[in-house]
Amino acid sequence: MSVPAKTPTRKPSRRAPKRQRVDWEGQEQAVLIRWLYGERQRQSIVGPAYAATYAVPNGGSRHKLEAANMKKQGVRAGVSDLVIAVPRGGYHGLYLEFKATPPRDAALADSQREWLTLAEEQGYCSVLARGLEEAKATIREYMSRPATRVLGKREPLKVGSDWR
């Protein structure tokens, strides 16, 4: 009678299983957008910001090829998370760098600080908000400012396709 061949057995791992990374910032930012939607439904002073707010998808992990293609298409490190394209208080709009509520917040990267500075120099209101409540308060304050008026006549561009 033949002896069955031994199959190699794996030793049990002594390491704890990797915990799934939680995107606290992304979750809170989604709540902020839902809040803006609710403000629009309630027709509050903040409501008009909902339709003119967009997220800049700079973060997250990507395959190297996808990241390289996005960079070729104009993605820039440090661009703020949310832009509210509503002119208020003498500004052209609001660039909001959103961080999760402490202690789950991340440090402000040098590229983010540089972008906030650049946007401010170009006439935008630039704000770092740590957490949902600070972001709401920032948007409330910004949207409560008087609308920025354009002085003088706007000069249309001569190039570009007509979309009107």
CA distance 109 to 111: 5
pLDDT tens-digit series, residues 92-130: 999 999 999 999 999 999 999 999 999 999 999 999 999
pLDDT tens-digit series, residues 126-146: 999 999 999 999 999 999 999
With cut-offs at 50, 70 and 90, classify the pLDDT of residue 16.
confident
In this prediction, residues 9-13 reach a mean pLDDT of: 64
Residue 136 near residue 49, CB atoms below 8 Å: no
Which of 43-47, 49-53, 72-76, 104-108 comes out lowest in average pLDDT? 72-76
pLDDT tens-digit series, residues 150-164: 889 989 899 999 888
Kindly give, in sequence order, each residue whose CB lies less than 8 Å from that of residue 90, ignoring residues fewer than 6 positions away.
Answer: 145, 148
Residue 96 near residue 132, CB atoms below 8 Å: no
pTM, 2 dp: 0.83
Look at residue 148 in the predicted model and tell me its pLDDT: 97
CA distance 79 to 77: 6
HSE at residue 163, side-chain half, CA atoms within 13 A, is 4
HSE at residue 123, side-chain half, CA atoms within 13 A, is 9
Whether the upstream peptide bond of residue 102 has omega within 30° of 0, thus cis, is: no
Residue ranges per structural domain of the chain: 24-60+76-144
64: left (phi over 0), alpha (psi -120 to 50) or beta: alpha
Whether residue 68 has pLDDT greater than 70: yes
Look at residue 6 in the predicted model and tell me its pLDDT: 64
Look at residue 109 in the predicted model and tell me its pLDDT: 95
With cut-offs at 50, 70 and 90, classify the pLDDT of residue 3.
low
CATH level 3 topology of 24-60+76-144: Trna Endonuclease; Chain: A, domain 1 (3.40.1350)
Look at residue 112 in the predicted model and tell me its pLDDT: 96
Rg over alpha carbons for the chain, rounded to the nearest Å, is 23
Q: Would you give the distance in Å from CA 100 to the centre of its chain?
A: 11
